[in-house]
Amino acid sequence: MPSPAVPSPAEPSPAAELTERAPSAEPLPSAEPLPAAEPAATSALPPNEARVLAAAQAQATALTGNPLHTVAAAAMDTTGRIYTAVNDYHFSGGPCAELVVLAVAAAAQAGPLTTMVAVGDRGRSVLSPCGRCRQVIIDQHIDCTIIVPTDAGTQLLNVRKLLPHAYIAPDGPVQRIIRFAATYYDAVRTGRKTATTRLCDPAAPYELGPAWLVFEFDDGYRRLPAVVEAVAPKRFSDITHADAQLEGGQVADDLKQLLRGHYSGIGNDDAVDMVRFRVEPSTDPAADRVAAPN
């Protein structure tokens, strides 16, 4: 079962924000130090995502005033490692910081990314990705969550929420992620929990095949390699004893009670996804461990 849902603000417009990436028409001062980026409101961010934001803010503060490099980005992978990069403006279409950090992570063989954020220099704080970046992230890291600015402070949104009705490449080389609260780690690792029930999960639709199960501990991630074996939609009222037993319960009401705790207001007619998986043995040194915070 999933971590408690992070409140989602109104969906930002998917229109490209290329003007934020272009250099300023005014020459940047060279004799005075650049102001440090003001910390964005982070009260809604879990600890791991807050570390990603802090890394991007530090990189933005380190920018020297070169008008070709005015935005920093940071991204975290499923091991908890954080990668940073800056944009490289050019009139012919130099890449945004988000695209550069994708390449930095790929060069380090990072695998799927869980979280990303961009921060502007000169105190501009968090920036939403432009339309091109949103499409690229969807194509390459479809389960990535993006830290975006809102009137209420920074919030987390799945990248698909930032580009509704986006084209999804049918054969893209995408590694999928299923997120869990840390409390489920032992039950999944030992085989006592072999399914998860989701309501309106941003990661849906789920696909059969390999996936990383990522457990969100405050001091980092633990991850387990798995294979999604079946996905079955059903009404909440149709949950069975067998469904509950796949998740470590005994009777249907055990699972229903847990779901009511995760999803406030869930009703009998709501459709949920029953996702069955098996954990795979792995020799990956990054599996089954907490990554040291950057």
Name the one residue in this structure whose structure tokens are 């399914």. Answer: 195
Closest C-alpha among 218, 177, 197 to residue 49: 218
Closest C-alpha among 120, 36, 48 to residue 86: 120
Q: Give strand ranges (E) for the chain.
A: 71-77, 82-86, 113-120, 125-127, 145-150, 153-158, 176-181, 195-198, 209-217, 220-235, 271-279
Instruction: Decide if 138 contacts 166 (C-beta within 8 A).
Output: yes
- Told to judge if 280 belongs to the known catalytic residues of this protein, a careful annotator would answer no
Among the residues of 119-211, which ranges form H helices?
131-140, 159-162, 185-189
**Catalytic position from the list 17, 20, 38, 98:** 98
What the block records as the tokens of 64 is 């020297």
Report the C-alpha gap between 242 and 198 in whole angstroms. 16
Query: Burial of 79 by CB count in 10 Å (0-12 exposed, 13-18 middle, 19+ buried)?
Result: buried
Name the one residue in this structure whose structure tokens are 């920018």. Answer: 63
Report the C-alpha gap between 42 and 117 in whole angstroms. 12
286: region left, alpha or beta (phi > 0 left; psi from -120 to 50 alpha)? alpha
Instruction: Decide if 78 contacts 175 (C-beta within 8 A).
Output: no
Residue 223 has φ and ψ, to the nearest 5°, of -135, 150
Active site residues: 98
